[in-house]
Homo-oligomer: A and B are copies of this chain.
Amino acid sequence: MKIETHGGFYISQIKQLSSRIFEKLLKDNDIEEFNGPQGRILFVLWQKENLSISELGEKTSLAKTTLTSMLDRMADQGHIQRNPDSKDRRQIRITLTEKAKSLKNSYDAVTIQMNELFYEGFSDEEITRFDNMLAKVLNNLKQYKE
């Protein structure tokens, strides 16, 4: 690989800008209940509840120390609950409150707005190809972790 690449530099910037824009869209849509980073955690829990904190970490790629404090805030705000695991007393299972479940639709609406902007000028085929490449990079990085 001798060519010049800027992937990492682009990714950082895209992350920065999309986070700020997402935050703004939440505000524009009068969604005050959660913010972008919390949305990422909810996104995972809406798909599958009752995850342990470590599992949540794998699915979000966040460190578990990050999750501890975020889950603290989300519990304070009435979005999640910490439940002891019945079999392994080291583990904690995270479940959603009804309040949190009811927010999924608002989140989805904002995601659609976000995607329109994000993928402006992309054909459906290009989006698919791009998504696959991102998944591949993500997989490369996950491999490295061990």
Segment at the B interface, from A73-81, A86-94, A98-106, A137-145: A137-145
Q: Is the CB of B118 within 8 A of A17?
A: no
The listed residue (B5, B43, B128) touching A9 by CB distance below 8 A is B43
Number of interface residues of A (CB under 8 A): 56
Asked if A55 CB lies within 8 Å of chain B CBs, one says: no
Q: Which secondary structure characterizes the binding site on chain A?
A: helix
> A7, A17, A60, A126 — which one has the most chain B CB atoms within 10 A of its CB?
A7
Question: A123: nearest residue on chain B (CB-CB)?
Answer: B1
What is the interface of chain A, defined by CB distance below 8 A to chain B?
1-3, 5-22, 40, 43, 60-63, 111, 114-122, 124, 126-131, 133-138, 140-145
